[in-house]
């Protein structure tokens, strides 16, 4: 187990995680969610609620109950319509620009109209929700590959052991590598010792059985096997979270709705381009037609229901209405 980070370093972010025999299904637990991992596809190829008002921006609101998000670099906190708080946590360092080459679906004239020759502003992000006195983490970020999540949780005054649930949008490494830490002897251990991990069954089955180069994903899923729960699209998960079909980016890519918050995962890698042209995919999208359909459908759903979108690759601060 403790060798998987070294393995990943040689084959980069295209590894995947494996299934475990005693994993619970959504029907067995009534609580479950999706997971994710991101691997680039060659250009132009496919690989295998109710309406509520938008939340008030309260950057100084303390989501953690300990630290002050207004004073923590790379974070921003929003209060939701149901009184829960959600804190955007930037997991990457510095500024992130996704290059023009990532969007081979876009014509030169369309891309040039953005006037962003150096690339489209983006991020690698996670989201921390405090609801019903409990902490939920949506995706776990880059981990040993430059992730800032643990440092920023500490600055917010949040102990990783206090996180009770981790909902995974999909199994790409920049979303799940942060589930693993090193103990005092250098062995791999859970970064969130008390967390139940929720992963979509479609996503889990695809990465465990159909997608190659899945050592990272297999190791992480095995590490959390005693606290792993699988769900189906449409399942209602703990604390009123709804699992929504957002397939295309990966086989089981999932969006999550909580009150007026819609966590959209990797629905968009270039917001400045895709907000007006949802038909444009990134080359990371494994099934481009399905990805475009999901993007159009979910963006319309968010607009019609006045939802606040939180995306793992939206530009800072990770929220759009």
DSSP string, 157-183: T--GGGEEEEE-S-B-HHHHGGGEEE-
Pair 107, 146: CB distance under 8 Å? no
- Residue 282, CA atoms < 13 Å, CB-side half-sphere: 26
- The whole-number pLDDT of residue 269 equals 98
- pLDDT tens digit at each of 321 positions of the chain: 444 444 444 334 333 333 333 334 333 333 222 333 343 333 333 322 222 222 333 333 344 443 455 579 999 999 999 999 999 999 999 999 999 999 999 999 999 999 999 999 999 999 999 999 999 999 999 999 999 999 999 999 999 999 999 999 999 999 999 999 999 998 999 999 999 999 999 999 999 999 999 999 999 999 999 999 999 999 999 999 999 999 999 999 999 999 999 999 999 999 999 999 999 999 999 999 999 999 999 999 999 999 999 999 999 999 999
> What are 131's two structure tokens?
């609801």
- The whole-number pLDDT of residue 70 equals 58
- DSSP state string for 187-228: -EEESSTT-EEEEEHHHHHHHHHTSS--HHHHHHHHHTGGGE
Nearest to 286 by CA among 194, 224, 203, 162: 203
How far is it, in rounded angstroms, from Cα 249 to Cα 227? 26
The DSSP element (H or E) to which 30 belongs, if any, is none
Its pTM stands at 0.82
Beta-bridge partner residues of 59: none
Q: For residue 215, report the phi and psi dihedrals to the nearest 5 degrees.
A: -60, -45
Q: How many CB atoms are located within 10 Å of the residue 95 CB?
A: 12
Task: Note the residue count of the chain.
Answer: 321
């Amino acid at each position: 187990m403790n060798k998987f980070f070294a393995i990943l370093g040689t084959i980069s972010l295209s590894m995947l995680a494996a299934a475990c025999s005693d994993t619970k299904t959504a029907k067995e637990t009534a609580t479950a969610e999706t997971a994710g991992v991101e691997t680039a596809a060659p250009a132009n190829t496919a690989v295998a609620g109710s309406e509520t008002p938008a939340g008030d921006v309260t950057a100084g609101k303390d989501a953690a109950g300990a630290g002050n998000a207004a004073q923590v670099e790379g974070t921003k906190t929003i209060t939701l319509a149901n009184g829960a708080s959600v804190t955007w946590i930037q997991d990457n360092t510095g500024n992130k620009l996704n290059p023009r080459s990532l969007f081979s679906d876009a014509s030169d004239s369309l891309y040039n109209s953005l006037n962003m020759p150096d690339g489209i502003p983006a991020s690698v992000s996670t989201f921390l929700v405090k609801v019903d006195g409990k902490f939920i983490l949506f995706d776990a970020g880059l981990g040993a590959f430059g992730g800032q999540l643990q440092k920023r949780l500490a600055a917010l005054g949040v102990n990783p052991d206090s996180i009770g649930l981790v909902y995974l949008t999909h199994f790409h490494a920049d979303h799940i590598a942060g589930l693993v830490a090193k103990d005092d002897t250098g062995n791999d251990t859970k970064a969130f010792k008390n967390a139940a991990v929720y992963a979509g069954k479609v996503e889990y089955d695809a990465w465990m059985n159909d997608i190659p180069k899945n050592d990272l994903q297999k190791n992480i899923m095995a590490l959390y096997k005693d606290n792993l729960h699988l769900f189906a699209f449409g399942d209602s998960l703990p604390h009123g979270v709804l699992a929504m079909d957002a397939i295309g980016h990966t086989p089981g890519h999932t969006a999550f709705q909580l009150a007026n918050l819609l966590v959209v995962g990797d629905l968009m890698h270039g917001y400045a381009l895709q907000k007006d042209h949802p038909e444009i995919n990134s080359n990371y999208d494994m099934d481009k037609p399905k990805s475009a359909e999901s993007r159009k459908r979910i963006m319309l759903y968010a607009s019609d229901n006045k939802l606040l979108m939180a995306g793992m690759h939206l530009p800072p601060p990770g929220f759009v209405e």
